[in-house]
């Protein structure tokens, strides 16, 4: 029969379990748990900042089948070391949940790296030398396409076609600025596009002109498409290569999850391929670009694409709306006019009522709203639209987010918490670089400029703050943004006075922005964003504990290892 034996064994096991329960307080941190399952991987001897709700610290993490099975002291986790367990000795290094970059362009940025990239070139000489070299390497008559020049290198942020003609006159050339809101073109590109003094500014764009009205070589916002539409399209192979470059960069910087900030249908298709073929080495939410002209009629197709794309590492249930432009180009929408420009308050790319209708349509389809909103007027009408969508649909868990939020006065800061909207900040921009001193403060005046990138006030007001790089606009390195969030000084520039010191953030707030808050924004806070038993083992190991590093040295700390589901990504 065998039953008595069964009973005995069961009774013994129950007794043993009772013993463990009784002794729990005494020995959990000392004695190994004999029931512990051997882990695939144990990281031990580290300084683990868990980002769980009590913000606990631990020494060791055990991982099995891609998930965390134990977090605690070295002694606690030791029970999970079996014969086949790989052990990583951390030697006091810091472990954090993998970074979440909540606004980044890995695919387009990766494509740019394969073109003529001017990124990081600090002098006009270096820029022109690089452009000349790029042109020389191309077949005859091919378009020279590039990106990454700094507007601040040119008087008034207005590069001229003649300057480009001097280096490239035998072929059309077009370069986009680091912020992606201006294009610099040569005369041949203007000629091919048929852009002359008689060409009117398109809606939502501006053709910069000389005294005679002749296009001078800079095209803002939608005007860039006048030339851009003549450039040979990016091929599928170029998109795939671009995404691979972007993913590799993210892995090296400790980023395991990100929000693709703007993708068209073809770009979303590349992400879907990567997911299907098993090389999407990060957890991605794709924000599908939705133009004002398309309106709410485009929402059902967007929802269908989101359903098609959904998988373990990919989702696309997010829509990206550009509500305005940028202050340095004079295209951000302000409540009060730009200084010295008459009644010019910039331009909203959506009528407020149309934006509200679109927000309602998105909420009905359970699509997340991801807005580019820079000027105070753009921010205000976006929050109005979010409020309208909440009221119309009752969807209070929509988790909308506003990215950049550069000129953000107290009246709007106060609304984020109540509307459940996240503040998607690019903290790396919050210091006095030439964009601020030469192109922003003169356009706003000193009073309004107090409310540039008010991250401290957003935190104090209870807003959910998430961090994004906006790469390839600026560096993808989260540690640079975290440093500037604390110092409001140029990264790596050493100690000294902060720019608008009231708006500095704490390290714990910046780390939350790049981990658990980012996971929340991707609706994945139950799966990742903190180091807790049961969550995915997406981790980053840093060479030093950031809490022991002077704030102005944080950007120098190196990423030692990046793990995705317990496997080395870097």
Residues of this chain that interact with Zn ion (CB under 5 A) are 261, 470
CB of 103 to Zn ion, least distance (A): 6
Closer to Zn ion by CB, 221 or 470: give it: 470
CB of 403 to Zn ion, least distance (A): 7
Please name the residue ranges forming H helices in 137-169.
Answer: 161-167
Annotate 21-50 with b (16+ C-beta within 10 A) or e (fewer): eeeeeeeeeeeeeeebeebbbbbbebbbbb
Closer to Zn ion by CB, 76 or 470: give it: 470
CB of 119 to Zn ion, least distance (A): 15
Closer to Zn ion by CB, 60 or 117: give it: 117
CB of 167 to Zn ion, least distance (A): 28
CA quadruple 63, 68, 69, 74: dihedral sign:
positive
CB of 185 to Zn ion, least distance (A): 22
Peptide bond into 25 cis (omega under 30): no
Please name the residue ranges forming H helices in 28-173.
Answer: 74-78, 106-113, 124-136, 161-167
Closer to Zn ion by CB, 134 or 316: give it: 316
Closer to Zn ion by CB, 328 or 565: give it: 328
Helix (H) or strand (E) holding 217: strand 215-221
CB of 188 to Zn ion, least distance (A): 29
Q: How far apart are CA 493 and CA 256, in angstroms?
A: 28
Q: How far apart are CA 160 and CA 324, in angstroms?
A: 24
Residues 6+ apart with CB under 8 A from 378: 323, 324, 332, 333, 348, 371
CB of 102 to Zn ion, least distance (A): 11
Closer to Zn ion by CB, 317 or 470: give it: 470
Q: Judging by DSSP bridges, how do beta strands 144-149 and 314-322 pair with one another?
A: unpaired
Task: Tell me the CA distances in angstroms from 100 to 151, 202, 513, 526, one per residue in order.
Answer: 29, 37, 8, 14
Closer to Zn ion by CB, 261 or 407: give it: 261
CB of 426 to Zn ion, least distance (A): 8
Q: How far apart are CA 453 and CA 431, in angstroms?
A: 9
Cβ–Cβ contacts within 10 Å for residue 437, how many? Answer: 13
CB of 349 to Zn ion, least distance (A): 14
Closer to Zn ion by CB, 261 or 378: give it: 261
Q: Which residues pair with 302 in a beta bridge?
A: none
Closer to Zn ion by CB, 105 or 377: give it: 105
Residue reference for tokens 């790029």: 134
Taking Cα atoms as reference points, which of 183, 230, 179 lies closest to residue 205? 183
Asked whether the beta carbons of 566 and 40 are under 8 A apart, the reply is yes
Taking Cα atoms as reference points, which of 99, 93, 95 lies closest to residue 48? 95
CB of 371 to Zn ion, least distance (A): 11
Coil/strand/helix, residue 100: strand
CB of 54 to Zn ion, least distance (A): 34
CB of 440 to Zn ion, least distance (A): 17
CB of 320 to Zn ion, least distance (A): 8
CB of 71 to Zn ion, least distance (A): 35
Closer to Zn ion by CB, 435 or 570: give it: 435
Closer to Zn ion by CB, 95 or 108: give it: 108
Starting at the edge strand that comes first in sequence, how are the strands of the sheet with 283-289 ordered?
99-104, 255-263, 283-289, 314-322, 368-373, 401-404, 422-425, 464-467
Closer to Zn ion by CB, 99 or 322: give it: 322
Q: What share of the chain is helix, strand, coil (3-state, %, to 5)?
A: 40, 20, 40
Both tokens assigned to 147:
């990106």
C-alpha torsion angle, residues 302, 376, 346, 287 (rounded to 10)? -20
Q: Which residues pair with 183 in a beta bridge?
A: 176, 219
Annotate 137-161 with b (16+ C-beta within 10 A) or e (fewer): eeeeeebbbbbbbbbbbbeebbbbb
Closer to Zn ion by CB, 371 or 510: give it: 371
Closer to Zn ion by CB, 50 or 287: give it: 287
């Amino acid at each position: 029969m065998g039953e008595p034996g069964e009973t005995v064994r069961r009774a013994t096991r129950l007794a043993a379990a009772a013993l463990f329960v009784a002794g729990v307080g005494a020995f959990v941190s000392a004695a190994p748990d004999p029931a512990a399952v051997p882990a695939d991987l144990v990281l031990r001897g580290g300084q683990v900042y868990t980002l769980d709700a009590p913000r606990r610290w631990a020494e060791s993490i055990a991982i099995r089948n891609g998930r965390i099975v134990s977090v605690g002291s070295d002694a606690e986790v030791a029970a999970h070391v079996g014969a086949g367990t790989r052990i990583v000795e951390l030697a006091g290094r810091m472990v954090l949940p993998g970074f979440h970059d909540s606004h980044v362009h890995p695919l387009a940025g990766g494509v740019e790296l394969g073109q003529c990239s001017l990124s990081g070139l600090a002098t006009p000489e270096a820029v022109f030398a690089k452009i000349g070299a790029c042109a020389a390497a191309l077949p005859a008559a091919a378009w020279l396409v590039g990106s990454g020049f700094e507007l601040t290198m040119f008087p008034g942020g207005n590069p001229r076609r003649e300057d480009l003609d001097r280096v490239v006159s035998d072929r059309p050339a077009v370069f986009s600025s680091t912020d992606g809101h201006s294009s610099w073109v040569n005369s041949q590109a203007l000629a091919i596009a048929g852009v002359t003094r008689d060409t009117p500014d398109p809606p939502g764009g501006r053709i910069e002109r000389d005294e005679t009205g002749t296009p001078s070589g800079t095209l803002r916002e939608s005007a860039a498409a006048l030339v851009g539409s003549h450039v040979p399209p990016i091929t599928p192979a170029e998109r795939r290569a671009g995404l691979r470059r972007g993913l590799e960069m993210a892995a090296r910087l400790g980023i395991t999850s990100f929000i693709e900030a703007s993708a068209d249908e073809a770009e979303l298709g590349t992400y879907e391929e990567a997911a299907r073929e098993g090389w999407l080495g990060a957890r991605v939410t794709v924000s599908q670009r939705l133009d004002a002209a398309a309106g709410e009629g485009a929402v059902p197709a967007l929802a269908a694409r989101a359903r098609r794309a959904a998988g373990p590492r990919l989702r696309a249930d997010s829509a990206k709306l550009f509500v305005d432009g940028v202050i340095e180009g004079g295209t951000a929408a302000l409540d009060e006019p730009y200084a010295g420009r008459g009644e010019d308050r910039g331009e909203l790319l959506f009528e407020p009522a149309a934006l509200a209708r679109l927000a309602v349509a998105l909420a009905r389809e359970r699509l997340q709203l991801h807005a580019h909103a820079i000027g105070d007027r753009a921010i205000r009408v976006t929050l109005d639209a979010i409020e309208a969508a909440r009221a119309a649909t009752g969807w209070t868990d929509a988790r909308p987010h506003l990215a950049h939020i550069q000129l953000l006065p107290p009246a709007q800061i106060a609304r984020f918490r109540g509307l459940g909207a996240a503040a998607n900040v690019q903290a790396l921009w919050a210091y006095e670089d030439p964009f601020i001193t030469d192109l922003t403060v003169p356009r706003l005046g000193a009073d309004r400029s107090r409310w540039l990138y008010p991250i401290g006030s957003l935190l104090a007001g209870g807003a959910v703050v998430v961090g994004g790089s906006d790469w390839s606009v600026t560096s993808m390195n989260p540690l640079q943004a975290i440093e500037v969030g604390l110092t409001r000084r140029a990264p790596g520039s050493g100690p000294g006075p902060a720019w608008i010191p009231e708006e500095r953030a704490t390290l714990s707030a910046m780390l939350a922005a790049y981990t658990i808050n980012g996971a929340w924004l991707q609706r994945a806070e139950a799966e990742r964003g903190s180091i807790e038993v049961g969550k995915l083992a997406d981790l980053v190991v840093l060479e030093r504990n950031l809490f022991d590093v002077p704030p102005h040295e944080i950007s120098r700390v190196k990423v030692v290892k990046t793990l995705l589901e317990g496997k080395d990504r870097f």
